[in-house]
């Protein structure tokens, strides 16, 4: 019993080593035994969790089977229509195929969280009944047995109640090992359920954040559309209302202006490789400019003038 309380970290204080070598041995025994014990309990817990999941899946399949049989009998009894029965069987096959695909998609079935607590409490109640049956004494009652079972399998280790009969220590050892496996299985199943729940909450928050960003982008688009409508009304004050065609026309003109390549102002004065033009053409261009009294535009000024072209001028 003492070795079990050490490797399970329960630690009832009614049995303790009295010598220093015994205490040192307990330290090293616990360092080696506690990890091995919890690894074993974790493996047994996974095995039990798979049994619980498969049993729950079989129970669901049996429930669906009974419900489909009842529905089939009801339809056959009241309707008597062969086509309806065939359609019901077709729906049943389709439902079974959908369930098979959903089982492949989902990792595992999820039980309600309350069922895990019910499993632990039920195991403690079974232990309480066993200890009340085998341990006779004034302190043992159902509540005391439940208290002892819960303290033992949860490794709390309050040592005010303990088994005195050495004959039933083997039963206590088996009960504690299975109880640790039940606790591990319940924690494993409960953690997977909570993980899926928190994952859904996380992605739900992402959807809300994405919807908020969508509304923000929509407000920017509406603000830009209002600015375009105000500019169109300013350029065309005689028009009562701006239609969708006006907005489309504005966007087409603006896109056309943005796609226009840069054309230098003196492109006709440039000599190409296939041209055979003398220098007198450039002199004639300078004479024309001096006659008009205006100097040639610089490339920077002309580029600024073309880039600042307002699409409103095309309306």
Question: What pLDDT is attached to residue 220?
Answer: 66
What architecture does CATH give domain 2-205? Orthogonal Bundle (1.10)
Cα–Cα distance for residue pair 263/261, rounded to 1 Å: 6
pLDDT in tens, 216-241: 666 666 777 777 777 777 777 777 77
Q: Which helix (H) or strand (E) holds 66?
A: helix 20-78
Per-residue pLDDT tens digits of the chain, which is 315 residues long: 677 777 777 665 566 778 888 888 888 888 888 888 878 877 777 787 788 778 878 888 888 888 888 777 777 655 554 445 455 555 555 555 555 544 444 455 667 778 778 888 888 888 888 877 776 666 677 888 888 788 877 766 655 556 666 666 777 777 877 888 788 878 777 777 777 777 777 676 666 666 666 666 666 667 777 777 777 777 777 777 777 787 788 778 777 777 777 777 676 666 665 555 555 555 555 555 555 555 544 444 444 444 444 455 445
**Tell me: the pLDDT tens digits for 126-151?**
888 887 777 666 667 788 888 878 88
Say how far apart CA 9 and CA 180 lie, in whole Å. 11
Sign of CA dihedral 240, 246, 247, 250: negative
CB 33, CB 7: distance < 8 Å? yes
Q: pTM for this structure?
A: 0.47
How many angstroms separate the CA atoms of 30 and 28, rounded?
5
pLDDT, one tens digit per residue, over 161-177 is 566 666 667 777 778 77
* Spatial separation of the C-alpha atoms in residues 279 and 79, rounded to whole Å: 104
Domain(s) of CATH 1.10.287.70: residues in the chain: 2-205
CA 157, 162, 166, 169 dihedral sign is: negative
3-state secondary structure (DSSP) of residue 13: coil
């Amino acid at each position: 019993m003492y070795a079990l309380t050490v490797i399970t970290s329960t630690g009832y204080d009614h049995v303790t080593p009295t010598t220093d070598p015994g205490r040192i041995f307990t330290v090293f025994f616990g360092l080696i035994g506690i990890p091995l014990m919890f690894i074993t309990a974790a493996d047994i817990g996974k095995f039990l969790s798979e049994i619980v999941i498969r049993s729950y899946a079989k129970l669901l399949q049996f429930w669906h089977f009974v419900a489909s049989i009842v529905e089939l009998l009801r339809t056959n009894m009241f309707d008597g229509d062969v086509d309806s029965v065939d359609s019901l069987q077709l729906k049943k096959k389709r439902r079974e195929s959908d369930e098979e695909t959903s089982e492949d998609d989902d990792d595992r079935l999820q039980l309600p969280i309350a069922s895990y607590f019910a499993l632990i409490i039920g195991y403690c109640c079974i232990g309480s009944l066993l200890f009340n049956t085998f341990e006779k004494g004034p302190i043992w009652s159902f509540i005391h047995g439940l208290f002892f079972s819960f303290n033992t399998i949860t490794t709390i280790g309050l040592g005010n109640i303990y088994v005195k009969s050495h004959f039933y220590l083997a039963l206590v050892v088996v009960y504690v090992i299975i109880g640790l496996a039940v606790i591990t299985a319940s924690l494993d199943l409960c953690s997977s359920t909570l993980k899926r729940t928190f994952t859904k909450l996380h992605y739900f928050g992402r959807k809300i954040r994405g919807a908020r960003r969508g509304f923000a982008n929509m407000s920017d688009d509406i603000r830009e559309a209002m600015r375009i409508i105000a500019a169109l009304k300013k350029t065309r004050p005689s028009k009562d209302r701006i239609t969708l065609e006006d907005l489309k026309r504005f966007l087409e003109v603006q896109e056309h202006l943005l796609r226009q390549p840069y054309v230098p102002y003196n492109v006709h004065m440039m000599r190409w490789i296939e041209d055979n033009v003398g220098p007198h053409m450039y002199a004639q261009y300078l004479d024309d400019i001096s006659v008009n009294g205006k100097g040639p535009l610089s490339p920077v000024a002309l580029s600024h003038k073309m880039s600042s072209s307002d699409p409103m001028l095309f309306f």
